[in-house]
Structure 1
Amino acid sequence: MNNEKNLTIPLLPLRGLLIYPSVVLHLDVGRDKSVEALEKVMVNDHRIFLAAQKEISLEDPESSDIYEVGTISMVKQMLKLPNGTIRILVEGEQRAQITSFDKTDDYFEVNVDLIEDEEELDIETQALMRNALDQFNGYIKLSSKMTPETLATVSDIEEPGRLADVIASHLSLKIKEKQEILEVINVKDRLQKLIEILTNEQEVLGIEKKIGQRVKKSMERTQKEYYLREQMKAIQKELGEKEGKDSEVTSLREEIVAAEMPQNVKDTALKELNRYEKIPSSSAESGVIRNYIDWLLRLPWTNQTEDDLDINHAEEILNQDHYGLEKVKERVLEYLAVQKLTRSMKGPILCLAGPPGVGKTSLARSVAKSLQRHFVRVSLGGVRDEAEIRGHRRTYVGAMPGRIIQGMKKAETINPVFLLDEIDKMSNDFRGDPASAMLEVLDPEQNNTFSDHYIEEPYDLSKVMFITTANNIATIPRPLLDRMEILQIAGYTEVEKQHIALGHLIPRQLEEHGLKKSQLKFRDDAVLFLIRHYTREAGVRNLERRIASLCRKVTKIIVSGKKKSMTITDKQVENLLGKPLFRYGLAETEDQIGVATGLAYTAFGGDTLSIEVSLSPGKGKLTLTGKLGDVMKESAQAAFSYIRSKAEELTIDPKFHEKYDIHIHVPEGATPKDGPSAGITIATAVVSALTNKPVKKEVGMTGEITLRGRVLPIGGLKEKTLSAHRAGLSTIIIPKENERDLDDIPESVKDDLTFIPAAHLDEVLKVALKDVARK
């Protein structure tokens, strides 16, 4: 190379690399301008100026896109490749800096000033050289891309500037950092910067090595586990266990990750899955964990149905499925109305209380249908174990979740209509009290975190609409009863039963027995005859049985070919079902002395009681028969005491208790009877016997009596009134305070009955007794 300070020389822009003086490098050249520059160079002295581009991505750089400082290099070799590119071998000679561009059309030609290194071989420079070599040695040890031989070739270099350039050429640095080293003219500064870069690179490589070691250990562990799994697969295959747990665990893990369950439940499921994976299939615990994971996956955690909030549509469905029951229907429609406005109301907890056969269960099913929710029914009759509600702990053999969680699994949504049937039939023993476990289920403030012993994770029941049914709410524990909204279903009148039979029961039974409407018809009076003479109930269950019996008998007649069709009349009912089972109108056929008709309330609805009193010579002994309960016996004692205290006013011999023994009997002696509401009936029958005045046959009565003769209010007036109407009574004496309950009684019943409110026994006797005494 000559000693010119200024040169005009072709320029070859480099992309993604840089060359230092004294360094040999292979380059592939493909751009048109670069090829033109090479051809110019090869014609002249083979010298070319190499400078890096600032942006690698530029295909056609401008003068401003190229670094000013570069290296004048000698092209040693050139080879044209088949793909059109040219491969050259270049050796860097000296730094230079661009002063101006002479030509930029076919190729770049630039004016450059040569740069001489500013170096001085003193002690400081030697120290820097040694430090740079030490740092480079440390760098080589940490780097996986360099060999120890590289250090040997560098160690022989005695010129400090050249040493810095050669070391820098071996480093994996960004172009910007390499360019910074290239632009440092002072050799000491260049060595100092190189040492700083080497120190930093060693730290980075050290961290990379640690990370690599951790990854390697993890990979080794993974490979080891993979190897062991493959061995296990092979063993299981030999044992005939197919692929064993591996595919099952993979499938379960995917299901758990995809399931829309709360994060805490998902974490628990994955943790149990890891345990399941490690435990041998032969272990008993393996099956327990597998069942547990399956329950977590099958339970609905977020899936819910959209409520149909169209009130008119819901009302249409309820009326279509059920006749009457206005209060219950109104309550469901109220819930829908509130839900439509708020969309956040917690599910109500309704208790449908009433005698059997009035449609409590089917009504709950209709509620679900009107809301377009899933329906689940769980029967609680006879449940006496707390674990039936809360589930068994998984430590027990054959453990399962409780009936609530089982029901939610069947529902497949978090907002079903959940029917808890016969909640009054639960009992308790040494295994716990299930009614107490139900307190959390039926508490809107607590059931959003219901705890099942098997599932263990809290489960949200707040969106469930719970409906319970009961025949007798008196047997339900008070705290549990307090959590429910009681909706009484008293029973049906004859007219309502007739509507239900014609509109629901008969069409259903015709379909079940394969009969067409043209083959079997029921006359309205025949249905009424069937109700009056073959059933005696508050509901319609026995009525449906009688209709089913008629359908069976008619089906036999038609199939045998005797007739093609039949119309059921009163006479046909009697011919097919036999003589009437009950006499319509259970009231007495004539006025009798010492016999009064009382009205009673039972779990099966209302009923009438005929209370009889007989006198016999004696000394005032009071005998009570008919399987009476303690409360009813005390009512009789109270009535007897009142009559003794008012004997003269009642025109009774004041010493009757010294002359007569009194026997009070309530027929159907095998049937237990209890309650205070027979007080005025017993008193009336006793007064009738003592005064020899008959009791009017058409009068029924109900009310509790005190020692002063006051008539206290009673419960179940609607049920008692319906029983009086069935019995054919025309007048009912009721406590004065029960007048408010008359609004609940159907108009069709009120039109046939006369209600006499009474506050004192004197008012009862004026209505019930005939004034003329019999001889």
Structure 2
Amino acid sequence: MTNDKIQLPLLPLRGLLVFPSMVLHLDVGREKSISAIEKAMMENQYIFLAAQKRTRLKEPEPKDIYSIGTVSVVKQMIKLPNGTMRVLVEGLYRAEILRYVEQEQDFIVEVNKLPDIESDLYEQEALMRSLLTQFEKYTSLSQKITHETFATVADIDEPGRLADIITSHLSLKIKEKQALLETQAIKDRLQLLIQYISNEQKVLDLEKKIGQRVKTSMEKTQKEYYLREQLKAIQKELGEKDGKMGEVDDLREQINDSTMPGRIQTVALKELDRYEKVPQSSAESSVIRNYIEWLLALPWEEKTADRIDINQAEKILNREHYGLEKVKERILEYLAVQKLTSSIKGPILCLAGPPGVGKTSLAKSIAHAVNRNFIRISLGGIRDEAEIRGHRRTYIGAMPGRIIQGMKKAKTINPVFLLDEIDKMAHDFRGDPSSALLEVLDPEQNRQFSDHFIEETYDLSNVLFIATANYINNIPAPLLDRMEVISIAGYTEIEKQHIAKRHLLPKQLKENGLTKGQLQMRDNALQKLIRLYTREAGVRNLERQLAALCRKAAKLVVSGKKKRIVITENILEELLGKPLYRYGLVEKEHQVGTATGLAYTAVGGDTLAIEVSHYPGKGKLTLTGKLGDVMQESAQAAFSYIRSRATELNIDPSFYENCDIHIHVPEGATPKDGPSAGITMATALVSSLTGRAVRKEVAMTGEITLRGRVLPIGGLKEKTLSAHRAGISTVIIPEDNKKDIESIPESVRKDLTFITVRHLDQVLQHALVGEQDESNKS
């Protein structure tokens, strides 16, 4: 090869270089590489070898290949059974690629020879001797190079060839070897190689010191080491994947493949390194593993795509819930805002109302409408802060809090998260869980929620939180401030009938294996069931009674006594027995000393009969019926007002000296409290003392002052529904509550007459019948 410029096939090398005078075996498997070898064998056996810049690249382009390489000759070629080719090559001289002649089937390049550049002979000789001295020291430290190899190298008297041969025996990086290959000046090549060998000697010295330390450590723990190796062998024979080591490898692979953020991944890998070093029999081993598994199980980036279609959401809410128009309207407004802002920030919804009115199912419908996963946790009875924030990992049996557990079950970072019974939480010496919830429900803080078990912050800002409560007065003020309350008062009889027909009865027929043809229910029977067998704001007990009917019908069908059952009023009583409740609480006649009040309880509105009797005595006031402090104070206020206005009310001013008064509220086993019975107690007192009867169709609610003023109350909607269920036709309410009448369903409003009052005198004017009976005057 006399011409300096020639065209040769190019064989890109991965992870190695070939120097001049170097003989090496290569395994070739890529199509272009095999084609280059075959083309070289068909011509003059010459080929150009150059290294790739990136080792893992399977199909390199010209820009991915170093331009300077080695012109070599193919000495031998063997085709292996697996389709690869093994060749023996010998490097001849350095050359540089001038241009690529062909790139499609294989690489054909035009190269130019790069000759060695000589310098001062004495300087080269000195550098050769220094190089040999350094290489000898390196040989003594390295276990890979034998003394025979050094003896062979020492006989070489050509400085350029010496540098290339020594380079081929060193464990240098590809970039370092490429730098030596590209250096034409022999002097510079020798100096660079001496520097590389000096650095390698330092590394080998350090490796030797580390090896000695490891050896010392192994001697100390030799017994434990051999026992571990025996344990690995036993586990392998039993079919386990290398015992703990295999488990560590699996966990490391899961961590690397997970979507957790970089900071969490770093923590997980650090804990995994600790787990690998801790003995498997140690208690800490299971603690660390449990922690790593929790980090892997939590969703970090997975989310469901929101589908906020207002029209579709409205259809879903109407299909799954009857009535509750204002509630559904507020939910649709909420979803509309989320769609426009593309953000979940905003008030946390709190669905408040009696049991059985559909709070939980409404939350499920919201999740269905926005295409999100639904998770529910019950907070009833929780009194430990750790239930929310989790336990420290140092405790035995430590676990994350309910929030993190819920996120694990949700498997996405944007579920609809229902906090059920948020008003039932308590607190004691173990902490206040409601205070821990403040961070969860605050949009400004929950981006970095801190759980004691996980320790690292977790982002809850994408979660749509919905809470439910029966009685908002039991929710701490700071927590209530973070929520927007949507009140669900209860259902009217008409709404209950529709719900029973559309939802409850078909559901119970399916659950009890019946068809519509086997069981039918008349409207009058359903009305009787609602009035006489249930008394509630919701429909939970109604569903239980329908389930009982279906079970009894199933028994009749299976026994062959009947094939088809139509439930009428008479059959209803045969199947369920005598009615459980009286329809309504309206008296048949006007009563003296008895007034009907309206109460708001944790299970909805209810009617409250207040009875007063007086008899000769010394002015003692007796209160019975398990009344709370506030209710007792209302009775005292009513009594004091009547004493101050006795003359105007046509009552003997000295009545409190001549008679005792007994105020009783029936159902004494049930605790009762609240200020809204004030005017009811006063009316019953005046009725008893004057002998004037209280109208049977009138119910009332309102707080009273010592001057007879009537103050506003809460829960008017719930109280009005209970009055409607009880058959009341007239309701006396404080004038300041007039604005709340609009919240009452139209079907209830049209059956009731509302009288608004400012003073007790107005109450007495509308509630009492006729004039004073002188014979009853005290």
The aligned amino acid for 2:481 is D
Aligned pair count reads 662
Q: 1:353 to 1:169 in 2, by over 3 A?
A: closer
Which residue of structure 2 lines up, in the alignment, with residue 70 of structure 1?
A: none
Q: Which consecutive residues of structure 2, in runs of 5 or more, have no partner in the other structure?
A: 9-19, 24-38, 52-74, 79-117, 140-144, 168-176
- Secondary structure of the structure 2 residue equivalent to 1:245: helix
Q: 1:414 to 1:150 in 2, by over 3 A?
A: closer
Give runs of aligned pairs for residues 127-138 of structure 1, distance below 5 A.
131=126, 134-135=129-130, 137-138=132-133
Q: Deviations over 1:317-344 (max 9, x none)?
A: 1111111122332232223212222222
Which residue of structure 1 lines up, in the alignment, with residue 325 of structure 2?
A: 326
Tell me the distance in 2 between the aligned counterparts of 1:256 and 1:376. 26
Tell me the distance in 1 between the aligned counterparts of 2:709 and 2:581. 36
Q: 1:153 to 1:647 in 2, by over 3 A?
A: closer
8 Å Cα contact 1:611/1:664 also seen in 2: yes
Tell me the distance in 1 between the aligned counterparts of 2:178 and 2:732. 110
Indicate yes or no: 2:683 matched with 1:676: no
Which residue of structure 2 lines up, in the alignment, with residue 60 of structure 1?
A: none
- Secondary structure of the structure 2 residue equivalent to 1:429: coil
Q: Deviations over 1:612-663 (max 9, x none)?
A: 1111112322211111111111111111111111122222222222222221
Q: Deviations over 1:388-443 (max 9, x none)?
A: 22111111111111111111111111111111221222222222222222222222
Q: 1:175 to 1:212 in 2, by over 3 A?
A: closer
Which residue of structure 2 lines up, in the alignment, with residue 448 of structure 1?
A: 447
Segment drifting more, 260-269 vs 441-450: 441-450
8 Å Cα contact 2:620/2:661 also seen in 1: yes
Which residue of structure 2 lines up, in the alignment, with residue 4 of structure 1?
A: none
8 Å Cα contact 1:298/1:409 also seen in 2: yes
- Secondary structure of the structure 2 residue equivalent to 1:592: coil
Shift of 1:140: 5.6
The aligned amino acid for 2:502 is G
Alignment partner of 2:194 out of 189, 197, 202 = 202
Which residue of structure 1 lines up, in the alignment, with residue 82 of structure 2?
A: none
Tell me the distance in 1 between the aligned counterparts of 2:336 and 2:678. 45
Shift of 1:289: 1.3
Aligned CA-pair RMSD: 3.9
Tell me the distance in 2 between the aligned counterparts of 1:24 and 1:560. 102
The aligned amino acid for 1:380 is L
8 Å Cα contact 1:382/1:427 also seen in 2: yes
TM-score (norm 2): 0.78
Tell me the distance in 1 between the aligned counterparts of 2:747 and 2:159. 112
Q: 1:169 to 1:405 in 2, by over 3 A?
A: closer
Indicate yes or no: 2:569 matched with 1:577: no
8 Å Cα contact 1:131/1:195 also seen in 2: no
The aligned amino acid for 1:361 is T
Which residue of structure 2 lines up, in the alignment, with residue 109 of structure 1?
A: none
Tell me the distance in 2 between the aligned counterparts of 1:701 and 1:350. 32
Q: Deviations over 1:443-482 (max 9, x none)?
A: 2221111111111111111111122221112222222222
Q: 1:211 to 1:681 in 2, by over 3 A?
A: same
Segment drifting more, 715-724 vs 302-311: 302-311
Tell me the distance in 1 between the aligned counterparts of 2:486 and 2:757. 28
Which residue of structure 2 lines up, in the alignment, with residue 335 of structure 1?
A: 334
The aligned amino acid for 1:634 is E
Give runs of aligned pairs for residues 247-646 of structure 1, distance below 5 A.
247-346=246-345, 348-646=347-645
Shift of 1:697: 0.6
- Secondary structure of the structure 1 residue equivalent to 2:431: coil
Q: Deviations over 1:473-495 (max 9, x none)?
A: 22222222222221111111111
The aligned amino acid for 2:197 is L
Segment drifting more, 474-483 vs 172-181: 172-181
8 Å Cα contact 1:13/1:53 also seen in 2: no
Shift of 1:610: 1.0
8 Å Cα contact 2:344/2:463 also seen in 1: no
8 Å Cα contact 2:180/2:192 also seen in 1: no
Tell me the distance in 1 between the aligned counterparts of 2:532 and 2:720. 19
- Secondary structure of the structure 2 residue equivalent to 1:306: coil
Give runs of aligned pairs for residues 224-235 of structure 1, distance below 5 A.
233-234=232-233
Shift of 1:201: 3.3
Which residue of structure 2 lines up, in the alignment, with residue 167 of structure 1?
A: 159
Tell me the distance in 2 between the aligned counterparts of 1:337 and 1:470. 24
8 Å Cα contact 2:21/2:161 also seen in 1: no
Which residue of structure 1 lines up, in the alignment, with residue 104 of structure 2?
A: none
8 Å Cα contact 1:15/1:53 also seen in 2: no
The aligned amino acid for 1:608 is T
Shift of 1:132: 5.3
Shift of 1:180: 10
Segment drifting more, 672-681 vs 369-378: 369-378
8 Å Cα contact 1:710/1:760 also seen in 2: yes
The aligned amino acid for 2:334 is Y
Tell me the distance in 1 between the aligned counterparts of 2:433 and 2:321. 32
- Secondary structure of the structure 2 residue equivalent to 1:564: coil
Give runs of aligned pairs for residues 666-745 of structure 1, distance below 5 A.
666-745=665-744
Tell me the distance in 1 between the aligned counterparts of 2:732 and 2:369. 41
Q: 1:633 to 1:203 in 2, by over 3 A?
A: same
Tell me the distance in 1 between the aligned counterparts of 2:233 and 2:130. 52
8 Å Cα contact 2:700/2:733 also seen in 1: yes
Larger C-alpha radius of gyration, 1 or 2?
1
Shift of 1:520: 0.8
Shift of 1:748: 0.4
Which residue of structure 2 lines up, in the alignment, with residue 104 of structure 1?
A: none
Tell me the distance in 1 between the aligned counterparts of 2:553 and 2:124. 119
Q: 1:618 to 1:249 in 2, by over 3 A?
A: same
8 Å Cα contact 1:631/1:675 also seen in 2: yes
Tell me the distance in 1 between the aligned counterparts of 2:526 and 2:475. 37
Tell me the distance in 2 between the aligned counterparts of 1:176 and 1:568. 98
Q: Deviations over 1:180-236 (max 9, x none)?
A: 98xxxxxxxxxxx755553343223323554566789999999999x9886652255
Which residue of structure 1 lines up, in the alignment, with residue 12 of structure 2?
A: none
Q: 1:219 to 1:664 in 2, by over 3 A?
A: same
Segment drifting more, 336-345 vs 455-464: 336-345
8 Å Cα contact 2:125/2:159 also seen in 1: no
8 Å Cα contact 1:702/1:733 also seen in 2: yes
- Secondary structure of the structure 1 residue equivalent to 2:281: coil
8 Å Cα contact 1:505/1:544 also seen in 2: yes
8 Å Cα contact 1:351/1:485 also seen in 2: yes
